[in-house]
Amino acid sequence: MSDHAGLWTDYKEKKKNRNSVCLGKICISGAEKTDTIVKNAVDELKKGLMAMVGLEPEIVYEDHTVNSSTVCSSGREILDSEEYRISIKDNSLIIEGKSPSAILYGVFDILRTVACEKEVEKSYAEGKTVRPSDPLRMLNHWDNMDGSIERGYSGDSFFYENDEIIINERTRDYARLIASVGINGVVINNVNVKSAASYMITDRYFDKLAQLGEIFAGYGIGLYLSLNYASTIEIGGLDSADPLDEKVIEWWKIKMAEVFKMIPALKGFLVKADSEGRPGPFTYGRTQADGANMLADIVKEYGGIIIWRCFVYNCRQDWRDKKTDRARAGYDNFMPMDGDYHDNVILQIKNGPMDFQIREPVSPLLGGLRKTNQMLEVQIAQEYTGHQIDVCYLIPEFKEILAFKTYCREQDDTVADIVSGKTFGSRYSGIAAVTNTGNDFNWTGNYLAGANLFGFGRLAFDNDLSAEQIAEEFIRMSISADDGVVSEIKDILLPSREIYERYTCPLGIGWMVKPATHYGCSVDGYEYDRWGTYHRADHFGLGVDRSDKGTGYALQYNEPNASIYNSPEKCPDELVLFFHHLPYTHVLHSGKTVIQHIYDAHFEGYDEAVRLSEKWDSLKGKLDDEIFENVKERFALQLENAREWCDQVNSYFFRISAIPDEKGRQIY
């Protein structure tokens, strides 16, 4: 395997479709053959078909009806232009689309069909039309310019080394890899913009960024940068970053004119402000809207957008005060200005109100905000979900989030509806994932973590795909097409998130991870609470009271969600300790007491992790040795981790509650 294996774009020989007549002639309709994206699409098609079925197709171009360089100014237009149709006519395949990107996605659809060994004729006999679900489908890199990656678990950055930007074969492979699953935007640097990264918007880096932008554009991917909100101070020599200060505004005007001229493919910026030590408008007594709008107004004339993160909270809160609640912060800080954000601002909202825990309720901002462009942010880098050591297939979680009914309207009110732009007719909307890639040979550390990268792209492109379909495609395309192997690996991936949840944090309480690294168990380890009181565990009970009698967070939801979460009787078991402080003897809907649930979940979670690992062992000899050994090695570490969690959580709650396990198991 090469040092940058292409995962699912590393096309391997396939048995089926060798004699497929319609693969011999492929007709492209709707885009210029001279367009770079179309050229790349055709190269990909030729490369893929040659490698998989030994065929070099004849490519025919039909008259294109639409200008290839269509500029889309709204989410609806993006979706229209990216829709593709594949059909069969006179024994040839026809790919139709209204833009070069649509053709590219059509090509990857065909390659996926061949790679999954589905019959081409059957797959397209009726004609297949696919329209992406979400206009913006983005990856956010937390890569630093020294080559490290914040929360990166698959090697160092392939974008940077020693404060320089790297452009090599892997850069293009990365563009191919992510375009193949429909990603159309990438933020290439960490939202915590420090040191050299602050100089990204200076001539020190313009040439390289322009080249990068061009490579990405060739695969329909927009280039975005994270911006240091206080650039006026850090690199501009001013003493302020006040968004209403004329000097500050003038500086940004000159800077943005230069930046967009020098990096023509640049689409916009992502900003983390007023959070975890990052500067922001609060310093000057201004609102988040003041900060976002100031930048948005300036980049507007270049077609730029400002993606402003809602991860704004005070990490120095005193958890001994029972009214303190970090979960409230997003809504409290952003809701009052709903409607004030300008139309090229998008608020990017983490899926839950805290921070990518294994189980959180959906953020009440999603379905709270009604007059603001919104984007969902999820994390496929497994910061709190096993560091790409433990297998944790996250697509089932993302499906749940997208299906969540927000009750912001009578219909079309799910998170999927909101981020597709359907609910409020938003100008911009979509979904972003904090990505899990690095320079490890297989991109994602644990080979199976590739399923989250692949799955995120596929799901963002088509919200209707099931977690199982996506897992099956991933396995068939990148591991094995053998039905038995596919079924065993699916049985590992599909339950893995719930298994991880069982051996880690019970009933939605979250955290309990080792501070700083966020891997491994530390029940009192919530780093922003030096008193160890975050989870409120005492001799009688556990959980944070976020009801109307506690912090009131539950009331940030629309009805009936607010009433459901507000009541310990109605609240779903899996979130009950997120919303309520309950005695260990409280009986859950499952019929178990809280304490018995904790014991059972942890013992079972560990046992299930062992079973997953044994299942993997049973595949020895049936798949590539390198893949087998890579995952096996990680399973050994996962079992140690699961054992540690099980022992620590059970003994902590046994000691504090003094209630024995009713099944009499040994608790250390």
629 catalytic? Reply is: no
Which of 158, 224, 252, 311 lies at the binding interface for ligand GCV (CB under 6 A)? Answer: 311
| 3-state SS assignment for residue 501 | helix
Ramachandran region, residue 604 (left: φ > 0; alpha: ψ -120 to 50; beta: rest): alpha
Q: Is 151 in the site for ligand GCV (CB under 6 A)?
A: yes
Helices (H), 494-543: 496-503
Contacts 24+ apart (CB under 8 A), 547-553: 547/579, 547/580, 550/322, 550/323, 550/325, 550/580, 550/581, 551/322, 551/323, 551/324, 551/325, 551/327, 551/328, 552/325, 552/328, 553/325, 553/327, 553/328, 553/353, 553/364, 553/579
117 noted as active-site residue: no
Q: Which of 83, 290, 325, 383 is catalytic?
A: 383
Q: Are 43 and 109 in contact (CB under 8 A)?
A: no
- Determine the interface stretch with ligand GCV among 186-194, 236-244, 389-397, 584-592 (rule: CB under 6 A): 186-194
150 lies in the binding site for ligand GCV (CB under 6 A): yes
Helix (H) or strand (E) holding 172: helix 169-179
517 versus 585: smaller Cβ distance to ligand GCV? 517
Looking at the Cβ atoms of 190 and 436, the one nearer to ligand GCV is: 190
Cα separations in angstroms, 405 against 235, 339, 366, 417 = 44, 22, 10, 9
Nearer to ligand GCV, 187 or 248 (CB): 187
Reading the block at residue 84, the tokens are 């593709």
Does residue 84 bind ligand GCV (CB under 6 A)?
A: no
Residues in region 332-361 near ligand GCV by CB under 6 A: 355
Q: Are 656 and 537 in contact (CB under 8 A)?
A: yes
- How many whole angstroms separate alpha carbon 194 and alpha carbon 230? 10
Answer yes or no whether residue 142 interacts with ligand GCV by CB under 6 A: yes
326 makes contact with ligand GCV (CB under 6 A): no
CB of 311 to ligand GCV, least distance (A): 5
- Considering only 86-94, 188-196, 389-397, 622-630, which stretch makes contact with ligand GCV by CB under 6 A? 188-196
Least distance from C-beta 271 to ligand GCV, angstroms?
A: 11
Least distance from ligand GCV to the Cβ atom of residue 276, Å: 6
Please check whether residue 6 is in contact with residue 450, taking contact to mean a CB–CB distance below 8 angstroms: no
Two tokens, residue 318: 């005193």
Residue located via tokens 């990909």: 44
Of 46-54, 184-192, 229-237, 253-261, which segment contacts ligand GCV by CB under 6 A?
184-192
Q: How far is the CB of 272 from ligand GCV (least distance, A)?
A: 5
**Which one among 191, 221, 299, 467 touches ligand GCV, defined by CB under 6 A?**
191
How would you classify the pairing of strands 164-165 and 25-29?
Answer: unpaired
- Taking the complex as a whole, the smallest distance from the CB of residue 140 to ligand GCV amounts, in Å, to 9
Q: Specify the residue, 456 or 599, whose C-beta has the smaller distance to ligand GCV.
A: 456
Closest approach of Cβ 380 to ligand GCV, in Å? Answer: 13
Among 43, 276, 301, 625, which one carries the catalytic annotation?
Answer: 276
Verify binding: residue 529, ligand GCV, rule CB under 6 A.
no
Calculate the alpha carbon distances from 276 to 101, 316, 369, 504, 528 in Å. 38, 9, 24, 25, 10
Residue ranges of alpha helices (H) inside 436-512 are 450-461, 467-478, 483-493, 496-503
Q: Quote the CA–CA distance of 306 and 176 in Å, as a whole number.
A: 26
Contact yes or no for 465/471 (Cβ under 8 A): no
Single-letter amino acid code for the residue at 607 = D
Q: Contact at 8 Å (CB) between 185 and 225? A: no
CB of 270 to ligand GCV, least distance (A): 10
* CB closer to ligand GCV out of 175 and 273: 273
Find the part of the chain contacting ligand GCV (CB under 6 A) among 12-20, 185-193, 236-244, 605-613.
185-193
Within 634-653, which residues bind ligand GCV (CB under 6 A)?
Answer: none
Single-letter residue type at 511: W
Indicate the burial class of 239 (C-beta count within 10 angstroms; 0-12, 13-18, 19 or more): exposed
Residues 201/225, Cβ–Cβ less than 8 Å: yes
Q: Of these, 137, 176, 272, 326, which contacts ligand GCV (CB under 6 A)? A: 272
The residue written with tokens 């200076």 in the block is: 202
C-alpha–C-alpha distance, residues 357 and 575, integer Å: 12
- Per annotation, catalytic residue among 355, 390, 501, 545: 355
User: Which of 526, 521, 537 shows the shortest CA–CA distance to 643?
Assistant: 521
Candidates 122-130, 190-198, 212-220, 279-287: pick the segment binding ligand GCV (CB under 6 A): 190-198
Active site residue 383: yes
Which one of residues 70, 148, 192, 651 is an interface residue with ligand GCV (CB under 6 A)? 192
Residues near ligand GCV (CB under 6 A) are 142, 150-151, 190-192, 272, 276, 311, 355
- Active site residues per annotation: 276, 355, 383
